[in-house]
Amino acid sequence: MTEAAIPVLTIDGPSGSGKGTISRVVAGRLGWHYLDSGALYRAVGVAAGWADLDLDDAGALVRCAFDTGIGFRDDAAGELRVLVNGHDATDELRTETAGAAASAIAAIPEVRSALKERQRAFRKAPGLVADGRDMGTVIFPDAAFKVFLTASAEERAERRYKQLKDKGVSVTLDGLLREILARDARDASRAVAPLRPAEDAVRIDTTGQGIDSVVERVLALVPGRTA
Ligand code: C5P
């Protein structure tokens, strides 16, 4: 199969829109590969932290984006683990600190270019579900299937709150809502690859909707794949 013939389903949206969970389930149902592009930005942010790099030093961050070893593997429970320079950094990657670092470095155009080919390399047969902010607009503009998920900021903050509390992380709902709004504003207003739906994306508002119904709506877009 030529690369262009390998089908891609892009699922973009702001943090907490449910795209990570939905994308993983949809990829599993289709038997396709899965790309969590946010994990790449988070991994570079975490690696930059380990190396004590200044988040204003664009040159050093670009080198870090090229040099950081990033690997994915499923653990025994089927959970996706992320390895950064050989270390399992999954838990550290999920923190709000890592998210904020990712969002800051993701605004640097050269960092985005450094990660472009690494993301495209995930396009392998029989297909790819790619989750992020610019999957449908920049990384896979030729994708056959594009979805843009949204949800109210309040509901997104509540989802994050539950996730983090379950993991024993101490946070406040107010603080999370503020961080989510700040990250949305930064992601939507940056000059390169701002968060916006591709023109040909199907928009799905997940506010008040369960995972199963959103999964079914997404799968219905992929012909012959809903069984
Ligand atoms: O999706 P996730 O919350 O893990 O992404 C972390 C940050 O990485 C986002 O806030 C965004 O700034 C950046 N990102 C991006 N482009 C992507 C995926 C993530 O700019 N495709």
Tell whether ligand 1 has an atom less than 6 A from the beta carbon of residue 146.
no
Tell whether ligand 1 has an atom less than 6 A from the beta carbon of residue 136.
no
Closest C-alpha to ligand 1, atom 9:
103
The reply to whether 103 sits in an annotated binding site is no
The reply to whether 226 sits in an annotated binding site is no
**pLDDT per residue as tens digits for the range 147-163:** 999 999 999 999 989 98
Q: What string of DSSP letters covers 171-216?
A: --HHHHHHHHHHHHHHHHH-SSS-S---TTPEEEE-TT--HHHHHH
**pLDDT per residue as tens digits for the range 75-116:** 888 888 999 999 999 999 988 889 889 989 999 999 999 999
The reply to whether 23 sits in an annotated binding site is no
The reply to whether 16 sits in an annotated binding site is yes
CA torsion sign, 152 to 156 to 157 to 161?
positive
CA distance linking residue 8 with residue 144, whole number of Å = 6
Instruction: Name the nearest CA neighbour of 94 among 168, 202, 149.
Output: 168
Tell whether ligand 1 has an atom less than 6 A from the beta carbon of residue 38.
yes
Query: What pLDDT shows up at residue 226?
Result: 46
The reply to whether 18 sits in an annotated binding site is yes
Tell whether ligand 1 has an atom less than 6 A from the beta carbon of residue 156.
no
CA torsion sign, 128 to 97 to 81 to 49?
positive
Strand arrangement, sheet containing 33-36: 33-36, 128-132, 8-12, 145-150, 202-205
Q: Is the peptide bond before 126 cis (omega within 30 degrees of 0)?
A: yes
CATH entry 3.40.50.300 includes domain 3-219? yes
Instruction: Name the nearest CA neighbour of 20 among 32, 38, 7, 33.
Output: 38
Average pLDDT, the chain: 92
Express as a percent the part of the chain with pLDDT over 70: 99
Closest C-alpha to ligand 1, atom 2:
38
- Ligand 1: which of 41, 128, 134 to mutate, most ligand atoms within 8 Å of CB? 41
Burial class of residue 203, CB neighbours in 10 A (0-12, 13-18, 19+)? exposed
Question: How far, rounded to the nearest angstrom, does the alpha carbon of residue 127 sit from its chain's CA centroid?
Answer: 17
pLDDT in 10s for each residue of the chain, 227 residues: 788 889 999 999 998 899 999 999 999 999 999 999 999 999 999 999 999 999 999 999 999 999 999 999 988 888 889 999 999 999 999 888 898 899 899 999 999 999 999 999 999 999 999 999 999 999 999 999 999 999 999 999 999 899 888 888 888 999 999 989 998 888 888 888 888 999 999 999 999 999 999 999 999 999 875 44
101: which 2 tokens?
A: 């670092």
Tell whether ligand 1 has an atom less than 6 A from the beta carbon of residue 103.
yes
Report pTM: 0.91
